[in-house]
Amino acid sequence: MTTSGDAREQVAARPRALDGVKVLDLTWFGAGPIGMRTIANLGADVIRVETQKRPDGLRIAPPRPVGNASLNVGGYFNNFNAEKRSITIDLTTERGHELGIELVKWADLFMTNMTGRAVRQIGMTWEALHDANPGIIAMYQPMQGMTGPHAEFAGFGAVLSTICGVNYLSGFAANDPVGVGTNYPDYVVNPIHAVIALLAALRHKRRTGEGQLIDMSQLESSVAAFSGPVFAWDNARVEHERIGNRVPYAAPHGAFRCADTAARPDRWLVLACLDDAQWERCATACGHPEWSVDPRFATLAERKRNEDALEATLAAWAEAQDGAETVARLQAAAVPAALVLSASEVLADEHLGARGYFVYLDHAEAGRRAYDGSGFQLSKTPVELRRAAPLIGEHTWEIASDVLGLSPDEIGTLIAEQVLY
Amino acid sequence: MAGSLSDLRIVETCGPIGHYAGRLLADLGADVIKVEPPRGDPARRYAPFLPGVEAPENGLQFILLNANKRSVTLDLERPEERALFLRLIASADVLLDSWQPHESARLGLTEAALLAAKPDLVRTSITGWGLSGPHADWAYADIVAQAASGVMTLAGFPDGPPEQIADHQGHRAASIDAAAGTIAALLHHDATGEGQRVEVSAQEALSMAQETAMMFADINGIDRQRTGGTGGLAIRIPGIGLYAAADGWVYMLAAGTAGSGFQGVLATMDTLGYQSDLREEPWATFILESMNRALLLQAMADPEQALALARKLEHIESVVVDCFTRYPKRDLYEIGQQHRLLIGMVSTPEDISTSPQLNARDWFVEIDDPGRGRRLRYPGPPWQLRGTPATLRRPAPLLGEHTAEVLTEIGVAAGEARAFAGRRA
């Protein structure tokens, strides 16, 4: 991905996989918008409908420039909505709803992650969509799916993380299951699972002309990505042990604290030895070849049996080591190892930098800011961010005119009447 | 109903990083042929195990993520078997591989060699670090991607180590992105006949899961730290956070702006039949007027109010704690939700297995696995596509189970294919 002006104009001419695909985006907060951003970065025209009456919580959430309360400068919203177009419509008004249905008729794909109750309030049920556009692909992504006794249960990512098992499965037995510091399923698991289903449905539509309803329960999607322990419970009654940074099939496997420096306190590295050969190379790279012949540590079975002692040995050694230098030494010996990077270190990471992962885009109010790149790259139809996130309602006039076919007078009236609002 | 990918053949030569990608595409209908070394994929030998079944057919993680696939064993170190592999590629639409640059070079299975066999191949490369950049040939393990993506530094307690997220989220995120990218490339292939490379790095795939951390660093120059679940709040606000139940934990977000807030906590206590003074004065009025996170944080900033306020909150908290420890987590969760309280139970694997919601939706699927002498219960797919549903059609393959069958399909004479497979066994 490239960001310099000239280069961007050149790539702008390159085809993308979803050129010409039209998408109506009624998502908000985290899980929904990220998937729709990926669809936009694949080339689709994604129209995000918002309303000033109740802006997306992410437009209000931090981080934002200190003292700036604008709805257009939040990093949370902007990162996850790059390249979409934004129109403001109050869908709870009669005329607003009619305009929403016009967009349904225009769209190939529709997605919302609102609750069933909210979907009914704005009249965007599957029945209403299918009546207006029988070929539409519509994804509903409420927390627990469209049917079942908990279909109307409410919650944010933090609530979902507890219900789907992430919090219990992660962490150490000695601590309470407080979670992993983020609403993890919101950011890759649910949005990109959603993209898979939408693209699969689009392929079916292109081959048959048929649209379809996709009922995507965030709970099912999340459990699907954490399915190992429930599968082991169901079929072998394996009680999940909360083993922190270990795994059942490798040792050593964990995080070890290195020497602090003034510039970087709290310096940790991780390393993993999946077989005896890796462990032997690891011990040698650490300057302690005797570890790999110590009878307590010589085989994987022995290392698992003596894992506390193994970790204590490594921890005592690591304390005196420089983190970056040690990782380089381990990697030179083909041992999986890395520094535990902070966010600013990830932004400055030389490897990600060489690959051009982060993209810097100019935004009318937020200025030049970093955006996450795509989690996958396509060599001939690039996935790329060609525009920053939209200001709220930035494209209201152009969409009302070009897509909805309204005259300037009508648009002016609808804005004044707080329908296009 | 046919799946949306039922017409496609996919060859998968991935280590554990790509197993879930192949599984997702197979669930959508693709014929996924897993090419394993003669000794088998390493994950076949990863604990935990299915009891009563011999290695290498007992690794549960392998059995889970490789259902719906066929297995062929080929020794890609040997030129004659590499040639068979390239014939298989010629018959396929997609290759999923996890070779790092030095590995494909050593095997002679470079992109040029693959494209010579199949010029319009969709080749999906799933590795820890991607195919370019100074770390492209670095060794990979799941935890390494979690560390290098910035995700791991956010998990854990301030005085403890950074923590990995369970069940291989480096592998999972990479696989999910790979499946999405593969279908995008297939759409382009359908339209133009042109193949291409899809490239996934686990480090990059997970980076998005830093939540707001990257943006805090970019906009405010602040690195988010691990906080042990407090989100950095210096005080405990009743109704926000983790609470012990009689048999586990629940988490709730009351006193925020969404849901029923702390009134929902009181209503839940009423329904449970728990008596407390919170419905009486002065508590009832205080709760009605002040139990809102934004107001509380504002008030706590004033040192004159802070101490008195802290005493009040302490009492309310003690009542909530006392109440919740008396009741099962599922009751607190379901009754709380009926009162529109944003509350969830901290589910164990057993809780998920017995979830009334998942079971009402028939999410789990059972399938006979004759090779292992079992009927196995699988977690379902991430979505319900009503027109082209995901299906579980076959159990995880035994090692090399389909070698003869697949070699025959690519034109090896039946006798020769059987003899080849027989020598392998």
Provide CATH 3.40.50.10540 ranges for chain B.
9-210+357-424
Which of these is catalytic: A6, A108, A186, A372? A186
Q: Does residue A7 carry a pLDDT above 70?
A: no
SS (H, E, C) chain B: CCCCCCCCEEEEECCHHHHHHHHHHHHCCCEEEEEECCCCCHHHHCCCECCCCCCCCCEHHHHHHCCCEEEEECCCCCHHHHHHHHHHHHCCCEEEECCCHHHHHHHCCCHHHHHHHCCCCEEEEEECCCCCCCCCCCCCCHHHHHHHCCCHHHCCCCCCCCCCCCCCHHHHHHHHHHHHHHHHHHHHHHHHCCCEEEEEEHHHHHHHHHCCHHHHHHHHCCCCCCCCCCCCCCCCCCCEEEEEECCEEEEEECCCCCCCHHHHHHHHHHHHCCCCHHHCCCHHHHHHHHCCHHHHHHHHCCHHHHHHHHHHHHHHHHHHHHHHCCCCHHHHHHHHHHCCCCEEECCCHHHHHCCHHHHHCCCCEEEEEHHHCEEEEECCCCCEECCCCCCCCCCCCCCCCCHHHHHHHCCCCHHHHHHHHHHHC
Closest CA to A330 of A392, A262, A382, A258: A258
The minimal CB distance from B218 to the residues A75, A150, A175 is found for A75
Test mutation, A346, A368, A369, chain B, max B CBs within 10 A? A346
Provide CATH 3.40.50.10540 ranges for chain A.
5-226+356-416
In A, minimum Cα distance to B165 occurs at A170
At B256 the pLDDT is: 67
* Topology of the domain comprising B240-350: formyl-coa transferase, domain 3 (3.30.1540)
Provide CATH 3.30.1540 ranges for chain B.
240-350
Count Cβ atoms within 10 A of the Cβ of residue B405 and give its class: 0-12 exposed, 13-18 middle, 19 or more buried: middle
Confidence bin at B229 (pLDDT 50/70/90): confident
The minimal CB distance from A170 to the residues B166, B199, B223 is found for B166
Largest distance between two CA atoms of chain B: 90
* Topology of the domain comprising A5-226+356-416: Rossmann fold (3.40.50)
Provide CATH 3.30.1540.10 ranges for chain A.
253-340
Q: Which two tokens stand for residue B80?
A: 């004659």
Neighboring chain A residues of B383 at a CB cutoff of 8 Å: 139, 193-194, 196-197, 214-216, 220-221
| CB–CB contact B223 A231 (8 Å) | no
At A12 the pLDDT is: 57
| Helix, strand, coil tally for chain A in percent (to 5) | 40, 15, 45
The lowest-confidence range among A243-257, B97-111, B252-266, B399-413 is B252-266
Count Cβ atoms within 10 A of the Cβ of residue A259 and give its class: 0-12 exposed, 13-18 middle, 19 or more buried: middle
| CB–CB contact A372 B208 (8 Å) | yes
Tokens 């990109």 belong to A192
Q: Does residue A72 carry a pLDDT above 60?
A: yes
pLDDT, tens only, A196-226 = 999 999 999 999 999 999 999 999 999 999 9
**Number of C-alpha atoms within 13 angstroms, CB side, residue B274?**
20
| CB–CB contact B349 A380 (8 Å) | no
Count Cβ atoms within 10 A of the Cβ of residue A5 and give its class: 0-12 exposed, 13-18 middle, 19 or more buried: exposed
Closest-CA distance, A407 to chain B, in angstroms, reads 36
Return the CATH superfamily for domain B9-210+357-424. Answer: Crotonobetainyl-coa:carnitine coa-transferase; domain 1 (3.40.50.10540)
| CB–CB contact B167 A229 (8 Å) | yes
Q: Which two tokens stand for residue B123?
A: 């080749």
At A4 the pLDDT is: 42
| CB–CB contact B386 A213 (8 Å) | yes
- DSSP string computed for A57-76: HHHHSSP--TT---TT--HH
Closest-CA distance, A281 to chain B, in angstroms, reads 12
pLDDT, tens only, B114-142 = 999 999 999 999 999 999 999 999 999 99
Q: Which two tokens stand for residue B417?
A: 């294919």
Strand order from edge to edge, sheet including A377-378? A377-378, B196-201, B122-127, B94-97, B9-13, B31-36, B69-73
- Using DSSP, state whether A8 is helix, strand or coil: helix
In B, minimum Cα distance to A39 occurs at B184
At B425 the pLDDT is: 72
Distance CA B357, CA A163 (A): 11
Across residues A116-145, what is the average pLDDT?
A: 97
The minimal CB distance from B382 to the residues A182, A224, A270 is found for A224
Confidence bin at B103 (pLDDT 50/70/90): very high
* A and B: number of Cβ contacts within 8 A: 501
| CB–CB contact B388 A212 (8 Å) | yes
Question: ipTM surpassing 0.95, yes or no?
Answer: yes
A210 DSSP assignment: -
Closest-CA distance, B61 to chain A, in angstroms, reads 6
Q: Does residue A115 carry a pLDDT above 60?
A: yes
The lowest-confidence range among A12-21, A346-355, B208-217 is A12-21
| CB–CB contact B215 A79 (8 Å) | yes
Closest CA to A185 of A155, A214, A164, A215: A164
At B230 the pLDDT is: 84
H helix count then E strand count, chain A: 20, 12
Neighboring chain B residues of A232 at a CB cutoff of 8 Å: 48, 60, 349
Q: Does A176 participate in catalysis according to the annotation?
A: no
Distance CA A339, CA A256 (A): 10
Q: For residue A272, what are the β-bridge partners?
A: A253
Tokens 């926000």 belong to B240
Q: For residue B199, what are the β-bridge partners?
A: A377, B125
pLDDT, tens only, B314-363 = 999 999 999 999 999 999 999 999 999 999 999 999 999 999 999 999 99
* Topology of the domain comprising A253-340: formyl-coa transferase, domain 3 (3.30.1540)
Query: Residue B283's CB: how many other CB atoms inside 10 A?
Result: 18
Distance CA A216, CA A140 (A): 6
Distance CA A357, CA A353 (A): 6
At B327 the pLDDT is: 98
| CB–CB contact A230 B384 (8 Å) | no
pLDDT, tens only, B372-394 = 999 999 999 999 999 999 999 99
Distance CA B248, CA B267 (A): 21
